[in-house]
A and B are shown apart, each in its own frame.
Chain A
Amino acid sequence: MIVRPTTAQLLRDVRNELTGTVGPEVHSATAKVALEQIDIILEQCAVRAESEISWMVEEIDEIDAYAADVAHATGDEATSAALDAGRAGRSGSLELDALAGDYNLMSEALSCAIEACLRDPDQRAMGDRGIEILRLRRAERETVVRANWRLVGRG
């Protein structure tokens, strides 16, 4: 398998071609907007291609540990059940579709764990730990994935 140039490099090359060669030949307003949107989506795909597998693997492990701590501290049945389902259903595969399934299952455990902490005022610190997972692992990475995102062609 030829892995270099990487997928991200190829996608960015397509971006350059569209911007430098195709773009100047496009004159309709709606087509120009579409081209600009395509450029954003290609860059987002490039960022995801570089990192999304490793990010999901890392987050699955982190959520597993967090949900286990919440289940232990609160005895919350929904968290325990979601964690069990996440562990039992884990494919362990790095194939993107299978891994996305694993990630979804474990995300449900994270949801249940945070909800359990919000219901219990004594678990404020544990809840804050879950929110930090949301903020640092998800929101900040999603910001990276958004890349050059903007609402093109609006108004």
Chain B
Amino acid sequence: MHDLDAMPARLAAFLQHHRDDVELIEVTEYEPMAGGYSRSMARARVRYTSDGVTLEESIVLRGDPPTGHSMIETDRDHEWAVLRALTELGKIPIPSARYYDGSGEHLGTKAIVMDHVTGGSLQALIEKMSEYGDHPLRLARLWGEIHTITPEQLPTEMVRPDSWNARIDELIATWRHYEGSSVNSDPTWRYIAAWLEANKPLPLPLRLTHGDTQAPNVMIDHDDNYLVVDWEFAAIGDPREDLGWYNIYSTAAGPNLYALDPEAFLAVYRDATGFGEAEVNQLTVGYFTVLSSIKILGTISSQLDKFALGENSGTMTSLQIGSISFGHDNFINAIAGMQAAFDAMAGAAEGTTS
């Protein structure tokens, strides 16, 4: 995927391997795409010729970066399995995932070939807007729709937590795991883990979680439909993990469509999922804003460790020191705010009973 001179021929051969009904497949353009942080992305223009008829289209390749230049490590096999399951299920709008080179034998690295969405991302759209129209509530409903997918509807190879508590404990332990194995001792992460352990919210049923809910991962096609991409972090977890990650990511790289009017956002989300206000409210979103971040910050941290040990490099990875420190700042403040709210509620309850 990374050899730009060789790729047109390699990709054409790969596509021909899957399309023996087409006489001739040519790749007329191939270029890397900016905007994919975790994976290498490329766009290709493909010409199909059969019986004298020629058709052209663009497709997208999504593969692993070159060895030693990865900002985060994720599993393409897992992502492909999730994409196939979602395509068959047909409940969540995604660009069609067509083919997979699971060995890297054809495309030089494990890579997924999918439809090209020509309309751009929700991020690119809202960055240009001063008023966001119905996008905040559409996004709330989209996240809610993902969270109606139950574990029974998902591939059997996806890890199934034993219980809600087991899932939450696993995520808290993940904070400690990455801190303990890092080249940097991080008291903020240890404080976060201890606080999360002491302040668990009410449980919700486990559901499909996207894992990287952010506006750049929502594409908009020319019919104004939302399409969700980048499923590499998909898991079975607490649905609020996604609300929390959306909140922290969009605070770092706004606009944050949740923060504009959290109550309106959550009302639509609750309507889409059927979840109650006791479980889905601003405080529980706050809790999961902190908790869920470890899924991505942890893998970023381990890549920075590799950088420090001389096993990884790249400006994309270096830039993520800012992501870690942005988390520190925001999580300390978020916990202070939530603790103040809990103290006030405890004080009010004490006043009522005394």
Measured CB to CB, the residues of A under 8 A from B are: 29-30, 32-34, 37-38, 40-41, 44, 104-105, 107-108, 110-111, 114-115, 118-119, 130-131, 134-135, 138-140, 142-143, 145-146, 149-155
Contact = CB atoms under 8 A, between A and B. Distances in A.
B332 A135 contact: yes
B321 interface: yes
Interface stretch (B31-39, B137-145, B274-282): B31-39
Most A CB contacts (10 A, CB to CB) among B123, B183, B325 go to: B325
B3 interface: no
B110 to A, nearest CB: 21
A134 B191 contact: yes
A118 B34 contact: no
Most A CB contacts (10 A, CB to CB) among B33, B121, B184, B188 go to: B188
A114 B187 contact: yes
A104 B185 contact: yes
Contacts of B195: 118
Contact of A139 (B34, B122, B315, B332): B332
B34 A153 contact: yes
Contacts of A41: 315, 318-319
A142 B329 contact: yes
Nearest to A48: B321
Nearest to A34: B315
A134 B34 contact: no
B-side interface mostly: helix
15 contacts: A41-B315, A104-B183, A105-B185, A107-B185, A111-B190, A111-B191, A118-B194, A131-B191, A134-B187, A135-B332, A139-B329, A151-B37, A151-B253, A155-B123, A155-B215
Contact of B186 (A107, A118, A145): A107
Interface of B: 32-35, 37, 121-124, 127, 179, 183-188, 190-191, 194-195, 198, 214-216, 252-253, 315-316, 318-319, 321-323, 325-326, 328-329, 332-333, 336
Contact of B123 (A29, A104, A108, A154): A154
Contacts of A138: 187-188, 328
A114 B293 CA distance: 21
Contacts of B336: 131, 135
A29 B328 CA distance: 31
